[in-house]
Amino acid sequence: MLAGYAVPDFVSEFWHYYIAAISIAGIIFSLWVLSSQTTKKLAEGEQAELMVHTWDGDLQELNNPLPRWWMWMFIGLTFFGIVYLVLYPGLGKYAGTLGWSSFQEWKDDKDTVDAEFDKVMAPFKSQDLMAVAADPKAKEMGQNLFMTYCSQCHGSSAQGGKGFPNLTDGQWLFGGTPEDIQASITGGRIAEMPPMGDAVGGEQGAKEVANYVLSLGGKPHDATLAAAGQAKFVACAGCHGENGKGMAVASFPDLTDDAWQYGGSESAIVQSILKGRKGGMPAQSQAAGGALNDSKIHLLAAYVWGLGGGKKPAAPAPAEAMAAPAEAVAAPAAN
């Protein structure tokens, strides 16, 4: 936290004294100018000094002393400035006796807004995520949060883009149950595939394996290349499975579906193989350095779950299982 440092940007003590000295010298200089101009006081019956210039024939300038009201206003404002500099940061890195900082003010404002939001959230927070997903008001708030915190990567419709997964298609790298989604948001996710060029024999080998991958998914491919790639797919099977269908639990993607994070063309697959892939979803919880508290994550998880791709919890707690209709219990395996 920044407590005690009003201005943490000074790299050396010199600038602290430099700025403070200029501010103080400025105040002293103004007071000196004022006093030097107000010492003349007209004695009884004395005429103000006549300055040399004359305009428009007969318009003359007299050197009268400054009006008292003006002088007192000047002194008053100077005094205000001095009090201000004692109370608030302004002299170099001196923090001021009130300890005010723009950071603290921002934080207090934010805490107030968060507290307001939590009040609105309270009824949802205690609710089951799937119930929240069905609530239109929660959906609207979830969408607003999504626009603010997630759309820059996952797109405003949550359908992703190159490198960023589609959250609406029911294909999950890290699982689509309410708990899985909440965990993805809370702690972030990283899936990593090392560059595999050497393992498949360079670019030509990658092309062959890519065609074999396309054949596994029943997509248009070059049969000769695919046949040559089949044996090389051994290098991939450990992670993506013998049949390329991936292993949802271990976050290795299915290569036979249409849900491509990095593209499903031959050349995009070749790039995936040669360069490797490493997607990074940043952790969002405040505990992990993100911006979201538990209430917001709960709402967002419900929103994402409700976008159409959410899976039912695989193993509901016994009490829930009894209450839930039979088909809700027989959930499909994740991914």
Q: Which is nearer to ligand HEC, 92 or 262 (CB)?
A: 262
How many Å apart are CA 219 and CA 133, to the nearest integer? 35
How many Å apart are CA 173 and CA 261, to the nearest integer? 10
Residue count (the chain): 335
For residue 71, the minimal CB distance to ligand HEC (Å) is 59
Chain centroid, CA 185 distance in Å:
13
For residue 9, the minimal CB distance to ligand HEC (Å) is 28
How many Å apart are CA 269 and CA 273, to the nearest integer? 6
Which two three-digit tokens encode residue 63? Answer: 């050197």
For residue 297, the minimal CB distance to ligand HEC (Å) is 8
Q: Which is nearer to ligand HEC, 101 or 186 (CB)?
A: 186
Asked if residues 65 and 40 have their Cβ atoms less than 8 Å apart, the reply is yes
Q: Which is nearer to ligand HEC, 95 or 248 (CB)?
A: 248
How many Å apart are CA 129 and CA 177, to the nearest integer? 10
Provide the 8-state DSSP code for 262: S
Nearest to 27 by CA among 80, 73, 69, 87: 80
For residue 127, the minimal CB distance to ligand HEC (Å) is 18
For residue 135, the minimal CB distance to ligand HEC (Å) is 17
For residue 107, the minimal CB distance to ligand HEC (Å) is 21
Q: Which is nearer to ligand HEC, 92 or 142 (CB)?
A: 142
Asked if residues 246 and 332 have their Cβ atoms less than 8 Å apart, the reply is no
Q: Which is nearer to ligand HEC, 95 or 304 (CB)?
A: 304
Dihedral over Cα of 166, 172, 176, 180: its sign = negative
Q: Which is nearer to ligand HEC, 259 or 324 (CB)?
A: 259
How many Å apart are CA 292 and CA 304, to the nearest integer? 15
For residue 197, the minimal CB distance to ligand HEC (Å) is 9
The angle that helices 266-275 and 202-216 make with each other, rounded to 10 degrees, is 120
Q: Which is nearer to ligand HEC, 108 or 192 (CB)?
A: 192
Closest residue to ligand HEC, based on beta-carbon distance: 279
Q: Which is nearer to ligand HEC, 121 or 185 (CB)?
A: 185
Residues lying near ligand HEC in the complex (CB under 6 A) = 149-150, 152-154, 163-165, 167, 172-174, 181, 184-185, 189-194, 196, 199-200, 209, 213, 235-236, 238-240, 251-253, 255, 260-263, 269, 272-273, 277-282, 284, 300, 304
- Return the H-helix or E-strand segment holding 69: helix 68-87
Which two three-digit tokens encode residue 215? Answer: 């054949």
